[in-house]
Structure 1
Amino acid sequence: MSLPPPPLPLSGVALFLDFDGTLAPIAADPDAVFLPEGGAEILRALSAKLGGALALISGRDVRDLSARVPADVWRAGGHGLEICAPGEKPEAQAVAAPQTLADAVNAIADSVEGARVEPKGEVLALHYRAAPEAGPALQAAMEKLIAGVDGYILQPGKMVLEAKPVHANKGITLTRLLDRPPFAGLTPVMAGDDATDEDAMEEAIALGGYGVKVGPGDSHAAYGLKNPAAVWRWLEAAAQ
C-alpha cells in the first residue's frame, strides 16, 4: 500500500489532476460523471492559493471537460491535444478522427454487445465496461487496426481502449504547461488513476516532483489515495 501524499504546499508547486477516476468516480456512462457537490468551489479556492498553477488534464474532449469543471481553471482535453487557459472558451468544433478510422472502430464495437464508442475529437474511446469478458478480443482487434494507421497508437485503460494520436500524451502536456506562466519554475505534482496518467506522473517525478496514484494498481507514484473521496479530502485540506 502506497503512503498517503504529504499536505500540498501552497507555494512553489504546480498541481495537475486527472478527471475521471480521480476527481469523480468512473461510471458506465461517461455522460453521467460530474464533480461532487462543492468540488468546483474547492478547485477555484485551491487554484487561487496556488497562483493559478492548477490544471486538469483529461482524456475527455476539452469541450466535454469544460462543461463539467470550472471555466476559471486550466483545462487540457484529449490528453492535451487542446488546452484552455482560465476563462478561455474552447473552439466550437473539435478536430475529428479520420472517418475511415472511426468507421473501423465502430465496426469493432458493433461486433460486441455492450461495447460502445465515445468520440473525443481526434481520440476514439472504445468502452467495454458492460462486456468485460470481451476485453482481450477487443484489444486484439484494435491492436491489429491501429498497427495500420499512421500517427495513431492504442492506449489501453480501465475497461476502455483509446485510439489516439501519438502526440496526445499527458506527460508531454505536463511539460508543455511547465514552460508557460503560471507553471514555469514550479515543482510538478500529478494525481491520476489510469495508465494515461502514468506518463504525466513519470514526467513530474523526473522534474523533481511527485505523483499520487488514485486507486489500486502498479504505479510510478510514491504516494497513493484510495479513491476520489480521499482525493477531495486531500485537496480540501490545502484549499482551506
Structure 2
Amino acid sequence: MRPPQSEVSATALLQLWLGQHRQTAVFLDVDGTLLDIAETPGAVHVPPGLVDALAQLHRRLDGALALISGRPVEELDRLFHPLRLPASGAHGAYWRETGDSPLRRTGKDLPACVRVRLNALACANPGVLAEDKGSSFALHYRAVPERAPLLREALLALLDAPEGAGLRLLGGKRVYEIVVDGVDKAVAVRRLMATAAFAGRCPLFIGDDLTDHPALVLMSGLQGLGLSVGRTLPGASAVFADAAAVRTALITAAGGNHR
C-alpha cells in the first residue's frame, strides 16, 4: 500500500514509483528539471552519469521513459548523445514514439510575418536572444530582465493583431514564447500514452515551469503523479529542491553514482 503522497518527499515518491517499473511511465522536462538553467539554451551542461542513468531507467521501464521539452527534438538528441529516447519537442508540436521512430509533427509553423516581427523585436532590444523553432518562437531575456514588461506588452499587442490569430503566449523562466494553439505538454503526454510502450501504465511527470503546468495537472486524471522542481506548481504532489536533486534521485534509482 502506498503511503499518502503529502507525507512523502519527492525523492521517496520517485523511488516508490520507479520501483513499480512495470506499471509506471516516466515523462521528464529538460531545462530546469534535468539540467540547470544556463544563460543561453546552448550553454547548458549535461553532468556525468545522467545519460547512463536515463538509459538504464529507459531499459528498466521497457521503453516507457520520454523527454517532454520546449526544445526541438534534434537538440535533445545532441544534448544526450548517444542516447535517443521517446520525445516530444517544441511544447508538443513534434514527437516520436521511440528513439528509432521517425519524427512526427502536429503543429503548424508560425506565419512568416509573425516570425519577422519577432525577430525585429529581438533586434530592437539588445541582449534579447531570439530562438525560432518553427512552430514556436522564444525570446530569452535572461541577460536583460528589465526588458520583460516591454517584451510582454509587444507580444500581447501582436496576439491582438489579425496575424496573431491562433497563437498564444507562454511565459517561462526569463523567456516569453509564442506558440501555435492546440499543442502543449499535456497533449504530448496523452499522445505518447497511447503508444505501445506507455499504454496501460500510470504516468509520472516532473517539471519546473509554467509550461509544464498542463502536464502536471493532467496527472491526477490519468491516475498519475506530478512532481515539480524549485517550487510547488498546480498538480504537483511534492517538490524537488532543484535540478541537481532530480538528477541525484534518478542516478541513485538507476544504481549509479552521483557526481
TM-score scaled to structure 2, two decimals?
A: 0.86
Superposition map of 1:10-89 within 5 A: 10-70=21-81, 71-84=83-96, 85-88=98-101
Deviation, structure 1 residue 34: 3.5
Which of 224, 227, 236 is matched with 1:221 structurally?
A: 236
For these two proteins, the number of residue pairs brought into alignment is: 238
- 2:209 pairs with 1:194: yes
- 2:172 pairs with 1:157: yes
Superposition map of 1:81-230 within 5 A: 81-84=93-96, 85-88=98-101, 90=103, 96-148=109-161, 149-216=164-231, 218-230=233-245
Which of 4, 11, 17 is matched with 2:9 structurally?
A: 4
Distance 2:117 2:87 in 1: 30
1:181 counterpart SS class: coil
RMSD value, Cα: 2.0
- Larger Cα-atom Rg: 2
TM-score scaled to structure 1, two decimals?
A: 0.92
Deviation, structure 1 residue 164: 0.5
Q: Judging changes above 3 Å, is the alpha-carbon distance between structure 1 residues 153 and 95 closer, same or farther for their aligned structure 2 residues?
A: closer
Q: Judging changes above 3 Å, is the alpha-carbon distance between structure 1 residues 147 and 83 closer, same or farther for their aligned structure 2 residues?
A: same
- Structure with the higher fraction of residues in helix conformation: 2
Distance 2:108 2:73 in 1: 11
Q: What one-letter code is carried by the residue in structure 1 that aligns with 2:146?
A: E
Distance 1:101 1:3 in 2: 46
Q: Are 2:108 and 2:180, in contact at CA under 8 Å, matched by a contact in 1? A: no
Q: Judging changes above 3 Å, is the alpha-carbon distance between structure 1 residues 221 and 76 closer, same or farther for their aligned structure 2 residues?
A: same
Q: What one-letter code is carried by the residue in structure 2 that aligns with 1:110?
A: C
Q: What one-letter code is carried by the residue in structure 1 that aligns with 2:113?
A: T
Distance 1:51 1:194 in 2: 28
Percent sequence identity is 35
Q: Are 2:137 and 2:179, in contact at CA under 8 Å, matched by a contact in 1? A: yes
- Gapped regions of structure 1 (runs ≥ 5): none
- Gapped regions of structure 2 (runs ≥ 5): 1-5
1:67 counterpart SS class: helix
Distance 1:200 1:156 in 2: 15
Deviation, structure 1 residue 89: 5.5
Q: Are 1:157 and 1:195, in contact at CA under 8 Å, matched by a contact in 2? A: yes
Q: Are 1:3 and 1:224, in contact at CA under 8 Å, matched by a contact in 2? A: no
Q: What one-letter code is carried by the residue in structure 2 that aligns with 1:60?
A: R
Q: Are 1:2 and 1:222, in contact at CA under 8 Å, matched by a contact in 2? A: no
Q: Are 1:61 and 1:121, in contact at CA under 8 Å, matched by a contact in 2? A: no
